[in-house]
Amino acid sequence: AKVSGRNNAIVFDEAMHRRAALRLAVETELPRAIERDQLQVHYQPVFEVASGEPIGFEALVRWQHPEHGLIGPDSFIPVAEETGQIVPIGLWVLNQALQQVKRWKEELSGAEKWKMSVNLSARQLQDAGLHSGVGDAIRAAGIEPSAVVLEITESVLMGDADQSLKTLTKLRSLGVGIAVDDFGTGYSSLSYLRRFPVTSLKIDRSFTDGLGGSDVHAGPIVEAIAAMGRALGLRVVAEGVETAEQLAELSRMQVQFAQGYLWSPALPAGQVPAWFAAIRCN
């Protein structure tokens, strides 16, 4: 249908207005979101490709706003990083996620070995309290440090490398895993894989997306990352798996772990027990 220029302008104007209102809400109300009990953690399962079994979850934060509805992290994490709010928010997410996985380990048969992955911003790695915050969260939840994975992006490793190396080495010595998130999207040299105490690589969704499709480079890149990860003794996780065809390719390339909408989006904690019961019956 042909839309008049005037109508387009009105639609455009409304969308712009909504975005500006959201931005304003994020900036003014985010500092109160934790105490107002508006933040939620959702959990996306991660699977072992060979067995098809869930081996843990990635914690992903959301903001349940009274007027704007459920706000995704891409709309407020960047602001939280600018203002420094990410430090208390990140610690809150970590504590929620570790306590949650502890409950599942106790309550659900088959969940005993589940791991919990939590995203860390560059800003949090510069926070002097991070190491003790992570240690306290692990002790408070009463779980094995080896059940915890901290996800960082390559840009963290490329930034203030000396400081990041110190911080990550201290975190790693707690016994937690360190994953490089969105692997392959940065332009750093791979030498950091030797220097940093990394335990997993998460292949970015943009590569998974291209598997089995028209992107002739995606396959060889994923295969090379998988082979390198294996050679270095790292766990390799493919993100954003949406089709059975992508899964078949990943399996052929011996990628060990995967997550994506093929299995499940991130779920509210309350839905996980029924979800797990349902997949166990199949």
56 near ligand C2E (CB under 6 A): no
**3-state class (DSSP) for residue 54:** strand
Which residues ranging from 251 to 280 are in contact with ligand C2E (CB under 6 A)?
259-261, 265-266
Q: Which helix (H) or strand (E) holds 267?
A: strand 267-268
CB-based burial, 144-154: b 16+ in 10 Å, e otherwise: ebebbbbbbbb
Reduced to 3 states (helix: H, G, I; strand: E, B; else coil), residue 178 is strand
Q: What are phi and psi of 95, to 5 degrees?
A: -65, -45
Q: Please give the C-alpha separations between residue 170 and each of 145, 173, 178, in angstroms, as whole numbers.
A: 13, 5, 11
Site for ligand C2E in 128-157 (CB under 6 A): none
Which residue has the CB atom at the shortest distance from ligand C2E? Answer: 260
151 vs 249 by CB, closer to Ca ion: 151
Contact, 201 vs 225, CB < 8 A?
Answer: yes
Which residues, 71 to 130, sit near Ca ion by CB under 5 A?
A: 119
Binding mask 156-185 for ligand C2E (x = CB under 6 A): -------------------------xx---
Which residues have a Cβ under 8 Å from the Cβ of 251 and sit 6 or more positions away? Answer: 49, 50
In the complex with ligand C2E, the residue whose CB is nearer, 7 or 124, is 124
Q: Which is nearer to ligand C2E, 112 or 184 (CB)?
A: 184
Q: Does 154 bind Ca ion (CB under 5 A)?
A: no
Q: Return the residue of 65, 102, 138, 182 that touches Ca ion, per CB under 5 A.
A: 182
Contact status: 73 vs ligand C2E (CB under 6 A): yes
User: Which residues of 85-242 form beta strands (DSSP E)?
Assistant: 115-119, 148-153, 177-183, 200-203, 235-238
**Binding-site ranges for ligand C2E (CB under 6 A):** 44, 60-61, 72-74, 77, 86, 90, 93, 119-121, 181-182, 205, 239-242, 259-261, 265-266
Binding interface with Ca ion (CB under 5 A): 119, 151, 181-182, 239
